[in-house]
A and B are shown apart, each in its own frame.
Chain A
Amino acid sequence: MIRYFGKILGAHFRDGRALYALTVLGVALGVAAVLAVQVINLNATAAFSGSIRAVSGDAEVSVLGATPSLDETVLREVLSTPGVERAWPLVQRSVAVSGDDRFYLDVVGFDLFAPVSVPLSHEVLPEDPVNALATPGWVAISPRLAADRGWSVGDTVVVTSGSRSAVLTIGTLVDFQSATPLASSRLVTMDIAHAQSLFGTVGRIDQIDVQVRDGVAPDRLASLLRDRLGPGVRVLTPDQRGQEAAGLLSAFRLNLTALSLISIFVGVFLVHSAAQTALVRRRREFGILRSLGATRGQVFGLILSEITLLGLLGVSLGLPLGLAVANANLDLVSATLTNLYLLEEIESLVLPWWIYGLGVVVGLGGAVAGALGPALDMSRRDTKSLLAAFTLHERTRSRAPALFTTGLAILGIAAVGYLTLGREWQHSGFALAAALLVGLPLLTPLLVHRLGAVARTNAFDWRFALKSLSARLQTTAFAAAALTVAVAMLVGITLMVGSFRETLDLWIADTVRADVFVTTESWRGETDETILDDRVISAVRARADVRAVDRLRSFSGFVGDRSVSILGVDFELEGGEPRFAMLEGSTQGVARDGAVLVSEPFFRKTGVGPGDRLEIRGPNGLVRPRIAGVYYDYSTERGAVAMDLRTMTEYFGPGGTQSIAVYLSPGVDPEAVIDELRAAFPDVPLIARSNSTLRDEALRVFDQTFAITRILQAMSLLIAAAGITLALLVLAREKQSELALYRALGATRRQVFSLFVGKGIGIAGIGLFLGGLGGVALAGILIYVTNRAYFGWTIQAHLPAFDLAQQAGTILTAALLASLYPAMRASRTPAAELSRENL
Chain B
Amino acid sequence: MHVHRIGVVAVMLLFALRATAQSPEWRSADPEYEWSFPQDHWPHPGYKTEWWYLTGQLATGEDQTPRFGYQFTIFKIGVLPEPVNSVSSWSATDVLMGHAAITDLSTGQHLFSEILHRAAPLLAEFHEAPNPRIARALAPPGTSGDWTLDWNGAAFDFGMADDTQRFSLTLATRPEKPLVLQGPNGYSRKAPDPGRASLYYSFPRLDTGGTLRMGDSTFVVQGTSWMDKEFSSDPLAENQSGWDWFSIQLHDGRDLMLFMLRGQSDEIDFAHATVISQDGRPRYLRAEQWSAEPSRLWRSPTTDARYPLEWRVELPDEEISLYVEPLLDDQENVSRLVTDLFYWEGAIVVKGPDDREIGRGYLELTGYGSASRPAL
Contact = CB atoms under 8 A, between A and B. Distances in A.
Interface of A: 57-58, 72-73, 75-76, 79-87, 111-122, 124-130, 133-134, 136, 179, 191-194, 196-197, 200, 202-203, 213
A121 B138 CA distance: 29
A129 B84 contact: no
Contacts of B91: 133, 193-194, 197
Given A73-B122, A115-B10, 19 more contacts: A72-B122, A82-B142, A84-B141, A85-B141, A86-B141, A113-B95, A113-B117, A115-B7, A117-B7, A120-B6, A126-B15, A128-B15, A130-B16, A133-B80, A193-B90, A194-B86, A197-B86, A197-B88, A213-B142
A179 B337 CA distance: 21
Contacts of B2: 58, 117
14 contacts: A76-B138, A79-B141, A81-B142, A82-B143, A83-B142, A111-B118, A113-B13, A114-B9, A118-B8, A129-B16, A129-B79, A130-B80, A193-B90, A202-B87
A136 B85 CA distance: 9
Contact of B138 (A79, A125, A213): A79
Nearest to A191: B90
Contacts of B16: 126, 129-130
A113 B20 CA distance: 17
A-B pairs, 4 with minimum CB distance: A80-B144, A126-B19, A193-B90, A193-B91
Contacts of A194: 86, 88, 91
A136 B141 CA distance: 29
A373 to B, nearest CB: 51
Contacts of A73: 122
A83 B144 CA distance: 12
B141 A124 contact: no
Nearest to B18: A126
Contact of A122 (B8, B18, B20): B8
A73 to B, nearest CB: 7
A215 to B, nearest CB: 11
A118 B7 CA distance: 7
A119 B338 CA distance: 17
Contacts of B118: 111, 113-114
Interface string B297-340: 00000000000000000000000000000000000000001100
B84 A136 contact: yes
Contacts of A133: 79-80, 84, 91-93
Interface of B is mostly: loop
Given A111-B118, A113-B118, A122-B8, A80 B87 contact: no
A80 B143 contact: yes
A85 B337 CA distance: 11
A229 to B, nearest CB: 14
Contacts of A134: 80, 84
Nearest to A125: B15
A112 B9 contact: yes
Given A126-B18, A133-B79, A196 B12 contact: no
B214 interface: no
Given A128-B12, A213-B164, A58 B89 contact: no
Listed residue (B84, B90, B93) with the most chain A CB atoms within 10 angstroms of its CB: B90
Contacts of B84: 133-134, 136, 193
Contacts of B123: 75
Interface in B238-296: none
Contacts of B13: 113, 129
Contacts of A202: 87-89
Contacts of A118: 5, 8
Contact of A116 (B9, B80, B95, B120): B9
Contacts of A193: 84, 86, 88, 90-92, 120
Nearest to B11: A124
A86 B2 CA distance: 15
Nearest to B141: A84
A85 B164 CA distance: 9
A818 to B, nearest CB: 56
Contacts of B337: 115
B81 to A, nearest CB: 9
Nearest to A203: B89
A133 B82 CA distance: 11
Contacts of A83: 142
Nearest to A79: B141
A216 to B, nearest CB: 9
B144 A115 contact: no
B164 A179 contact: no
A553 to B, nearest CB: 23
Contacts of B141: 79-80, 84-87
A209 B257 CA distance: 45
B360 to A, nearest CB: 34
Contacts of A116: 7-9
B1 interface: yes
Contacts of B122: 72-73, 75-76
B5 A119 contact: yes
Contacts of B164: 82, 213
Listed residue (A73, A86, A117, A118) with the most chain B CB atoms within 10 angstroms of its CB: A117
A202 B90 CA distance: 9
Given A126-B18, A129-B13, A121 B4 contact: yes
Nearest to A135: B84
A111 B12 CA distance: 12
Contacts of B338: 115
Interface in B50-99: 79-80, 84-93, 95
B90 A129 contact: no
A112 B122 CA distance: 15
Contacts of B87: 197, 202
B145 interface: yes
Contacts of B9: 112-116
B89 to A, nearest CB: 6
A433 to B, nearest CB: 44
Contacts of A80: 138-139, 141-145
Contacts of A213: 142, 164
B357 interface: no
Contacts of A136: 84-86
Contacts of A115: 7, 9-10, 116, 337-338
A127 B84 CA distance: 16
A783 B123 CA distance: 56
Nearest to A84: B141
A175 B141 CA distance: 29
A79 B8 CA distance: 20
A161 to B, nearest CB: 15
